[in-house]
Each structure stands twice: as structure tokens, then as C-alpha cells.
Amino acid sequence: MKGRGRVRLNVGGRVFETTAATLASAGRDTMLGAMLDASWNHGGDGDGEGGVDEYFIDRDPECFAVLLDLLRTGGLHVPPHVADGVLCREALYYGLLDRVRAARWGEFDGDRLRLAASVAGSAAGDGTAVRAAPDGGCCVAHGGAVRLYNWMLEERRPVYLDHAPVNDAAYLDEATLLVAARERPGRRDGGVAAFSALTGDLRHRFRVAHDRQARSFTPGALVFDHRCKVFASCKGRFNEYGIGVWDCTTGEQADFFYEPPGCALGDADKLQWLDATNALMVATLFPKTDNCFIGLLDFRDKNVVWSWSDAGMAASLDDKRVLHAIAMEDERSVCVINQYDDLGFLDIRSNAGGVRWRSRSKLTTRKKKAPHGEETCYPKLAAHGGQLFASTNDTISVFSGPDHVLTSTLRGSDAGAICDFSIGGDRLFALHNEENVVDVWETSPPPVI
């Protein structure tokens, strides 16, 4: 190719001149990188001034200027007159959408989060759950519908379940959403299904069979492991309580862990797969049940290898009820939170001992009471990147280090208490119940030097 050091691009009538190295930095799998690949392209017009290869691209020159600067400097600087949607459309054409997305926000750090956006829900009624997508988008469950948003926070076509209430949702990948829906009285419309996260279309229904007979069921919590096995807590009509397992590749039921005596599995609020332990954490929590149960299930020999319950403990006025639980990333302990916003820890390496409660943490300074008759938002927990996150009222507290020291407090829009939050795609999404608003928190990208 002539003039391989310099390349001239005529984009929509505006001429840009850059180097082949700058275009090659986009990657061979992009349109700009492929232009320099001799095996793909026979070259541009070599009759340009000074023998420099020249290409004509019939696209928006304003957006191209932003994208070329991104390749040159690594920073994204968007003029006020360039709309985000137009820029992303052009970035998709050039194969640079992932590069633009990466430049928008930095690697997730709970101590450096900033409120980037607040998205008002368009569905009637309060949202019940929010889930982060791997690509930085999210979904919000509202009754019998799941609202889908791409990473630009533009609403996609929703998932409708014909009024069957949604209990949980999980992104299998950025294009596939798993939904668990409650069975309605007299209707066999509950179960687990996979939907396209791009179009909202149904892809597959996961069936449950007992004694080779298909059964209707109501799933609760959802999770999947690194081998693409899907797990769901299940309640059948004929006391078939336990954990259902499906193979995502075939879509067929792979297993069912029936609920043993004293282990509340079918009503589980929280499921979490532990990769290193090769076990499933199951947590059934107050107020769904009077007694809390947390256990680790080994599916290889159908055994409960560790468990804790507050059943049989003496009740008192100061009785601490576990409202949420999360296995820590080192898989040595489970963190729990009670109605007083205290954090506690259970050692899962031993069946002896109870919860090690910390002193009253007082995670928030503004304790808001729910109006009479309004449903309370219970605290939630998450662990990510070595940090622990806890939502209480309208605030999310961030704890860091081996001693879980409070290092940051996130308080966003004044839209009521946080009923759920989720971390993924280097973003944190917090769902407020009163105004049906999702706050989006991001880490600012590092400065370009």
C-alpha cells in the first residue's frame, strides 16, 4: 500500500489525515483496522496528494472526528452538539462501540463512584427488582413485565408475561435474560424462561418433571454457574419443594435437589453459586419465613455440606432477624444483615458457632419511616471487587478491607428508599421504590495524560 505511514480519509466531504498506526490501533476486527489489512482490502486511491492513500467514507464527519480523537488519545471528548445516540450509531458502524463504552466510565471502584444518571420507570406500579447486564445495561421487574435498557440507558422492547408476577431475573449473557415468574391461582403460567434481552422475544421455557411427569411450579430465586447450569428455588403443587437445575445448552432439566427435613429450599430468597467451593448457597430469610435458613448444597452427592438456622433460638425484644445474605468472594464466610442494619458474619468452614454480629453500625443518619400501609424496603447486600455493599433506606454503604471498614456512602436521587440494587458491567444500579427511579452509578474514567 502506498504511503503506508499516512492515510487520508474523506468522511462525508470533510478530509482527515492520520497515520496507519492510529487506524490499526482500532483492531483488525474493526472497519478502520480492516482498511489496512492487505488480505481484506486492495487499498485506497493512491493518486492522492503526495502519494498518500485516500479513502472516501460516506458517514457523519462530526462523529468521526470524536472517534478519531479517541483512537489518538484514548479519551472521549464529545461536543455538546453531538447526540449520544448518533455517536453510538456511528461507533457501531466503525466497530468502535466497545471502545466508546470503555471510555465512558472506568473500572468499577465503590469508593470512586459518581451518580451518572437517574432513569425514571415508564411502567405503572413500583419496580420490584433491578439486575445489571454484563454490557452495562440493566432490567427492572414491574409486576408481570421486565423493562430492558441498553448500556446507553435507552429502553428496549420489554418482556411481557401476561400478568404473571416476576419473582427474579438474571442475565445469562448480554443477549439472554432468564426470568422466574410466579404461578397464578388456577393457571399453569409460572416457571422459568429465557428471553432475548435485545428484542424481548421468548426463546425457551424450562420444564420441571417429577417421576417423568411434567409439573407446574413457582420459581423463586435464580442463579447460574460457570458451566451454564441454571438453578432456581421451586415450589410445586404437590409439595415438590427444592432446587431445580437445567442445562442451558440443551434447555432440559438436569437435576432436582429435593428439600430435606429442616432445610427450607423451595422458598429460598437468595441463590449464589460458589465457584471455588463448587457448591450452591441457598438462603431463606425473614419475613418470607419465621425462621431463617442458610445452607451450602453439593449436587455431586446431594448433600447439605454446611447450614445455619435461627430455629430454636430464644426470642426476645432484641431478636435479630436475618433479612439478606451474601457469600463473600473468598468463600470463607457469609455476610448477613438484620432489621437494625447490623452486619454479621458466619464462618462456612465450620458448622459450629453462630453469627458474629458487629456493633450497631448505624449505616445511615437519615432513618425514614415508611408511610402507614406502604411496603417496607428491606436491606440488601452485594460483594464485588473485594468490597462489601449494603443498602439501607435511601443509602448504599461501601465497606473495604479485611475488617470491612465503612469507606464510602452513596446517596443519589431523592426518590425514596432503595428496594434493590445490582452491580455489573462496571456499574451499580439502585432501584428506588417511591418514584420508580433507577440511579446509575459509575466510576469516572482515569485521566488521559
> 251, 259, 288, 295: which is closest to 168 by C-alpha?
288
pLDDT in the model for residue 1:
42
Q: Which amino acid is present at 133?
A: A
Average pLDDT over residues 283-287: 89
The DSSP call for residue 107 is S
Confidence of residue 449 (pLDDT cuts 50, 70, 90): low
Sign of the torsion formed by the C-alpha atoms of 182, 245, 306 and 406: negative
Q: Tens digits of per-residue pLDDT, 124-159?
A: 556 789 999 999 999 999 888 999 999 999 999 999
The enclosing H or E element of 99 equals helix 97-104
B/e letters for 243-280, b = 16+ CB within 10 Å, e = fewer, are bbbbebeeeebbebbebeeebbbbbbbbbbbbeebebb
Phi, psi of 400 (to 5 degrees): -130, 160
pLDDT value at residue 50 = 59
Pairwise CA distance, residues 333 & 240, whole Å: 30
Residues 198-222 have pLDDT tens digits of 999 999 999 998 888 888 889 999 9
Contact 192, 205 (CB under 8 A): yes
Q: What is the pLDDT of residue 360?
A: 46
Domains of the chain are: 6-36+53-104 (3.30.710.10), 113-443 (2.130.10.10)
Provide the CA 82 distance to its chain's centre, in angstroms.
Answer: 29
Pairing outcome for strands 191-196 and 202-206: antiparallel
The model's pTM is 0.87
Q: How many CB atoms lie within 10 A of CB 313?
A: 12
- pLDDT tops 80 at residue 244: yes
3-state secondary structure 357-401: ECCCCCCCCCCCCCCCCCCCCCCEEEEECCEEEEEECCEEEEEEC
Range 81-87 average pLDDT:
90
Q: For 56, list phi and psi in degrees, rounded to 5.
A: -110, 130
Backbone angles phi, psi at 102, to 5 degrees: -65, -30
b/e for 54-81, b at 16 or more Cβ within 10 A?
Answer: bbebebbbbbbbbbbebbeeeebebeee
| Confidence band, pLDDT 50/70/90 cuts, at residue 47 | low
Whose grid coordinates read 425473614? 286
Least confident of 21-30, 45-54, 123-132, 203-212: 45-54
Helix or strand holding residue 283 (H, E) = strand 279-284
Determine contact, residues 324/337, Cβ cutoff 8 Å: yes
Contact criterion met (CB below 8 Å) for 220 and 235? yes
C-alpha cell at 88: 453510538
What's the grid cell of residue 171?
Answer: 442475565
How would DSSP label each residue in 6-72?
Answer: EEEEEETTEEEEEEHHHHHTT-TTSHHHHTT-TTT----BTTSGGG-EEEEE-S-HHHHHHHHHHHH
